């Protein structure tokens, strides 16, 4: 099956919503946790393609299962094969528009290793570093609440890039790495957005390079050496990697704006009618009667 971007937008939008899903006892969003987890695996020496496959599978399944991951399901009494079957159903449902070989690969992928011990210090800072949102030179900043953080954005670009990579002829492991690392400069540089960066003028590129190199130097040498040439793709859309990365980056930025627009326009009817908040159950007739008496049905 050949998938177009129009076909894939629904899947990517659901994945991106993991920026806004939280689990008790775990700081940050599910996206933040996955960002830290991926960096920990990579810094610990894991193969980037294997990490990409595991995290993409978790992201696609998580779009529907949220925090019901393999660990939770096993703790609830499911055997490993039963937990994997649940994940496979979620991947089939959310990833229906993905190419068949991509979807099959995600079903077969391992679960991410839940170990944050090797996560580099900069990953935690990026999770704490808010993004500027939409800015334009000479104009006031558009403030939206709550802002996403750089960990969430980089995670989404990494996952989107890996899912789109093969359609662009790029390596999915490299696309995932580039997505995770493309805002390393924002560890030390609070995000002033496009408007603020323009004011730096000729200083901008040297500042970005120095700050990026500062963080690369904290990584294991092999991983830093793997990343340096990939980061060059941030400035081109002519190579397969550059196209996959920029497609992922612009899709995430615009889908984030669409999220805020949807949230601002949300109505009770959307929840009650379209999403069936009061869904069919043995007591749904009573629920409807209560809401009718209270005047709360649309």
Q: What is the pLDDT of residues 252-294, one digit of tens each?
A: 999 998 898 888 777 777 777 777 777 788 888 889 888 888 7
Read off the pLDDT of residues 199-245 as tens digits, 9 standing for 90 and up. Answer: 999 999 999 999 999 999 999 999 999 999 999 999 989 999 999 99
185 touches 211 (CB < 8 A): yes
**What's phi and psi for 171, nearest 5 deg?**
-80, 125
Burial annotation 12-25 (CB, 10 A radius, 16+ → b, else e)? bbbbbbbbeebeee
Structure token digits, residue 204 = 């901008």
Calculate the dihedral angle through the C-alpha atoms of 251, 91, 112, 47, rounding to the nearest 10 degrees: -70
What is the overall mean pLDDT for the chain? 93
Is residue 2 over pLDDT 70? no
Buried b (16+ CB within 10 A) or exposed e, 78-104: eeeeebbebbbebbbebbebbbeebbe
Query: How far apart, in whole angstroms, are the C-alpha atoms of residue 205 and residue 238?
Result: 20
Distance CA 91, CA 65 (A): 10
Sequence ranges of the domains in the chain: 5-130+138-266, 272-298
| 62 closest CA partner among 108, 102, 23 | 23
User: How large is the average pLDDT for residues 147-154?
Assistant: 96
Secondary structure in 3-state letters for 218-232: CCCHHHHHHHHHHHH
- Placement of tokens 């991947």 in the chain: 91
pLDDT of res. 209? 97
**Alpha-helical runs (H) found in the chain:** 5-16, 30-43, 48-65, 70-75, 80-94, 100-108, 121-128, 150-165, 172-181, 193-200, 204-216, 221-231, 240-265, 268-269, 284-294
If you compute the radius of gyration of the chain from its CA atoms, what whole number of angstroms results?
A: 21
- Show Cβ contacts of residue 25 under 8 Å, excluding neighbours closer than 6 positions: none
Half-sphere exposure (Cβ direction) of 261: Cα atoms closer than 13 Å: 7
Q: Is the pLDDT at 18 greater than 80, yes or no?
A: yes
């Amino acid at each position: 099956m050949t998938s177009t971007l129009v076909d894939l937008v629904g899947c990517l939008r659901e994945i991106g919503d993991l920026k806004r899903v939280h689990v008790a006892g775990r700081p940050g969003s599910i996206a933040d946790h996955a960002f830290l987890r991926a960096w920990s695996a990579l810094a610990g020496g894991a193969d980037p393609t294997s990490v990409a496959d595991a995290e993409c599978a978790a992201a696609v399944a998580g779009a529907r299962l949220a925090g019901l991951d393999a660990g939770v399901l096993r703790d609830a009494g499911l055997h490993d094969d039963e937990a994997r079957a649940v994940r496979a159903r979620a991947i089939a449902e959310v990833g229906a528009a993905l190419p068949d070989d991509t979807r099959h690969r995600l079903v077969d992928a391992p679960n991410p290793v839940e170990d944050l011990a090797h996560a580099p210090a900069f990953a935690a800072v990026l999770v704490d570093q808010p993004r500027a949102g939409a800015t334009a030179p000479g104009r006031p900043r558009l403030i939206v609440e709550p802002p996403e953080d750089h960990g969430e954005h980089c995670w989404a670009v990494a996952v989107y890039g890996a899912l789109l990579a093969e359609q662009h002829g790029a390596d999915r492991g490299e696309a995932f790495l580039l997505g995770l690392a493309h805002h390393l400069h924002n560890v030390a540089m609070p995000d002033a957005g496009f408007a603020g960066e323009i004011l730096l003028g000729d200083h901008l590129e040297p500042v970005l390079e120095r700050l990026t190199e500062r963080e690369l130097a904290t990584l294991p040498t092999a991983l830093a050496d793997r990343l340096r040439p990939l980061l060059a793709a941030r400035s081109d859309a002519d190579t397969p990697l550059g196209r996959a990365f920029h497609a992922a980056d612009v899709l995430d930025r615009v889908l984030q704006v669409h999220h805020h627009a949807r949230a601002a326009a949300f109505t009770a009817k959307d929840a009650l009618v379209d999403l069936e908040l009061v869904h069919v159950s043995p007591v749904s007739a009573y629920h409807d009667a209560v809401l009718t008496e209270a005047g709360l049905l649309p």
